[in-house]
Structure 1
Amino acid sequence: MQETRLDLARIRAARRMIDPVFLDTPLYRCEALEPGLGCAVSVKLETANPVRSFKARGTEVIASSLADTRSPAVVCASAGNLGQALAWSGRGRGIDVTVVASRFAPAVKLDRIRALEAKLELVDGDIEEARERAVAIARHDGIRLVEDSLDLETCEGAGTIGLELVATEPAFDAVLIALGGGAMATGIGEVLKACAPEVEVICVQPLGAPAMTRSWRERRVVTTDSTDTIADGVAGRRPIPAVLDDLLVVADDAVLVQEASIIAGMRLLLDRAGLVVEPSAALGIAAILEDRERFAGRHVATVVCGSNVDPAAYQRWVGAAPQQRP
């Protein structure tokens, strides 16, 4: 396999740095989903942890390496989930955490960042403006800037999900991974290509936030001026060149799905599996709904990557408030 920035030995070592509460998350075949999808479906539930997303796998690695440094402090830009994860990992290790986010991010995510005792700074723009502000803070204060997907710890921490997937028997035919900045896709993809190269690695992104998928297809960085999707966790506009290079090595395909399919996937996960998920976590199901023939007769795994969703927005999309259903 062509080389990436990632390293399988470091991914294996990352497991020792991550609090066990984030490891070995539930992975099971969900037969209740299958009549509506036409294929065997297993879900990897990355929501069954204290921050309700996969992001802490990476922030645990970062925080572990910083805990013994003098006056440790970090800053990151976040759509919400990375900030929660970094706040959680930092709080337990005496690390001062600053999170920069859009004031338009879901309130439930912002409130949780505050509850985890991180300093929260809001900007008027989107995640790209938040990144610019985080860079400025890091330079001014002389502290560590955590850049999701660019920092290898975020990718290799997420790669531990891949280790858990390849330990499953029988193996899957394909794994569907939500694609935003690329940390989860490159991390899991690195493991699958090294340990189970016969498994198809398929990245899924909203049609309304297509920058990384377009970049993968054209094999060059393609930026967009705006995004228009409910899947805020994957709504980036400016792919990172080094991350794209990694993705080109490990991803077999990258597909775009419509908003209606994302909502249908969220509803299916609620009604058939009892899972309340944020839009990004339903991208894999959306991809199956849009191309049933491709997956017919195959065993597909999808990573349910987050469940930090605003109750009012969820009710508008799905037609049921989270607290009303199991």
Structure 2
Amino acid sequence: MNMLLEKDRKYKPTLEAVKEAAERISKVVLKTPLAASFTYSKRYEASILLKREDLQQVRSYKIRGAYNKISSLPEDQLKKGVICASAGNHAQGVAFACNKLHTKGVIYMPITTPRQKVQQTQMFGGEWVEVILKGDTFDDSFKNAMKHKEKFGLVFIHPFDDEKVIEGQATIGLEILEQADSPIDYVFAPLGGGGLLAGISTVFKRLSPNTKIIGVEPSGAPSMTSSLKEGKVVELSEIERFVDGAAVQKVGNRNFEICKENLDDMICIPEGKICQTILDLYNQDAIVVEPAGAMAISALDSYAEEIKGKNVVCIVSGSNNDITRTAEIKERALLYAGIKHYFIVSFPQRAGALKEFVAKVLGPNDDITHFEYSKKHHRENGPAVVGIELNDPADFGPLVERMKKKNFYGEYLNDKPNLFQFLV
């Protein structure tokens, strides 16, 4: 094992270091509310508290680690400047810190980063930062940033696998314990690279050892779950990028070692369920969150029985959501709920076929939301891609039966993701 990995195994943030970080960042980082959620407390028959990191100046907790790291650098390093790679929130934290500390920063972001996050990064950094869009994933941007770092001798500000960054994120744990009126039974927190959970889990294990720490990551990017299963850090070959704030192919070495020891459980949440939580938070509580910010709350269903009557904290990690993604968020939520379905429908090429489909195949509350059809004169039947929204998931089985009985059924697309995404 190389020396870096050996060092990573030995590192654990100390309470003294976390308290120093809290003091260092106190003038620029908000002490965010620990607010009771009436909606979720009633739903789960528990005391559900939301740690509202979405209310930070940069709308995520990432400012804590970024500012703690950069502000702790020696003056000669600050003069050279810093560089980072980020899917959005860490970039904004670094940009904010560079502007405050008058330090030049170069920020690499994936080309797929939502425009809103790119614009916010540029706004927070102003003249002090340069944003470079390169690569399809965080890991692509990371590799390009490391090349830039070596070429120009800049200090790299890692988004999660860094001691000062971990200690900055750990200050959330101190705040929760200061703000809570009663002992905390459970903490649910999102996990991407692992910096947040490495930090807060250490604080809780020292100051509140009976609190169960639950990590939550998206099903499409289960990097920590896979690593814990293998007993070592593994790099995923492919990931689903939708939850951009938590979609990484490889967790941090330091973070893995700490989380392996401190976490009580890891939960993977489907992206569609996360989308439904985003919509619920907006419609029921007027809270705007990004996908990663909804993950902790999305995991409560998995512990519905265990948390009854308990004090539970969910960390709402960020609210940097681009409004242009709303249609996709709604679509994913409907697909996950079993309400939206796509088919290849085989229409007989005769007059009245579509009318028959609407009148005798669709249920009284079913709605066609997507329709693509091309008439083929040399065929008896013409295929159409049809999207149908149901009123109740239970209506799906009878719908398919009627389609087959009337010879309209061609193929179901929801369970064929590659074909589905190509056609719709």
The TM tier, using the shorter chain, reads over 0.9
Paired residues of 1:21 and 1:49 also in contact (CA < 8 A)? no
Equivalent residue, structure 2, for 1:27: 34
**1:96 pairs with 79, 98, 104, which one?**
104
CA contact (8 A) 2:66 2:159 kept: no
Would you say 1:159 and 2:166 are equivalent positions? no
SS at match of 2:213: strand
More moved, 90-99 vs 236-245: 236-245
Q: How does 1:212-223 map to 2 (within 5 A)?
A: 212-223=224-235
1:51 aligns with 2:58: yes
Equivalent pair of 2:30/2:57 in contact (CA under 8 Å) = no
Q: Which residue of the partner structure matches residue 322 of structure 1?
A: none
Equivalent pairs, count: 318
CA offset digits 1:77-101 (Å, max 9, x no partner): 1001101110101111111011111
Residues 194-273 of structure 1: matches in 2 within 5 Å?
194-273=206-285
Aligned-partner Cα distance in 1 for 2:153–2:45: 53
Q: Unpaired runs of 5+ in structure 2?
A: 1-8, 332-424
Structure 1 contact 278–307 (Cα < 8 Å) conserved: yes
Give yes or no for the alignment of 1:147 onto 2:158: yes
Matched letter for residue 107 of structure 1: R
Partner of 1:138: 149
Rounded to whole Å, the distance in 1 between the matches of 2:315 and 2:297 is 10
Residue type matched to 2:81 in 1?
A: A
What one-letter code is carried by the residue in structure 1 that aligns with 2:25?
Answer: I
* Kept after mapping to 1: 8 A contact 2:182/2:311: no
After TM superposition, give the deviation of residue 229 of structure 1 in Å.
4.6
Matches for 1:45-194 after TM superposition, within 5 Å: 45-66=52-73, 68-69=75-76, 71-115=79-123, 116-117=125-126, 118-167=129-178, 168-194=180-206
Shift of 1:137: 0.9
- Give yes or no for contact 2:137–2:241 (8 Å, CA) kept in 1: no
Alpha-carbon contact 2:87-2:110 (below 8 Å) kept: yes
2-side partners of 1:260 and 1:31: how far apart?
A: 24
Give the share of equivalent positions with the same residue, in percent: 27
Give the CA deviation at 1:5: 2.6
Which structure is richer in relative contact order (CA contacts within 8 A, separation 6 or more)? 1
Q: Secondary structure at the match of 1:147?
A: coil
Q: Check whether the contact 1:33–1:273 (CA below 8 A) recurs between aligned residues.
A: no
Is residue 2:27 matched to residue 1:16?
no
Q: 2:213, 2:11 → 1: CA distance?
A: 15
What is the alpha-carbon distance in structure 2 between the residues aligned to residue 197 and residue 133 of structure 1? 40
AA matched with 1:175: V
Correspondence for 2:348: none
RMSD: 1.8
1:192 to 1:112, Cα distance in 2 relative to 1, 3 A: same
* Amino acid in the other structure paired with 1:157: G
Q: Distance in 2 between matches of 1:238 and 1:99?
A: 20
Letter in structure 2 aligned against 1:9: E
The 2-side partners of 1:224 and 1:85 are apart by: 26
SS of 1:69's equivalent? helix
- Evaluate the alpha carbon distance shift between residue 61 and residue 126 of structure 1 in structure 2; reply closer, same or farther with a 3 A threshold: same
Give the partner amino acid of 1:164: E
Opposite residue 146 of structure 2, the aligned amino acid is V
Distance in 2, Cα, partners of 1:230 & 1:296 = 31
Deviations 1:188-209 (A, max 9, x none): 0010000000000000001111
TM-score normalised per structure 1: 0.92
Structure 1 residues 66 and 3: CA distance shift in structure 2, 3 A: closer
Q: Describe the SS at the equivalent of 1:98.
A: strand
Deviation, structure 1 residue 278: 0.2
Pick closer, same or farther for the CA change 1:296–1:3 going to 2, 3 Å. Answer: farther
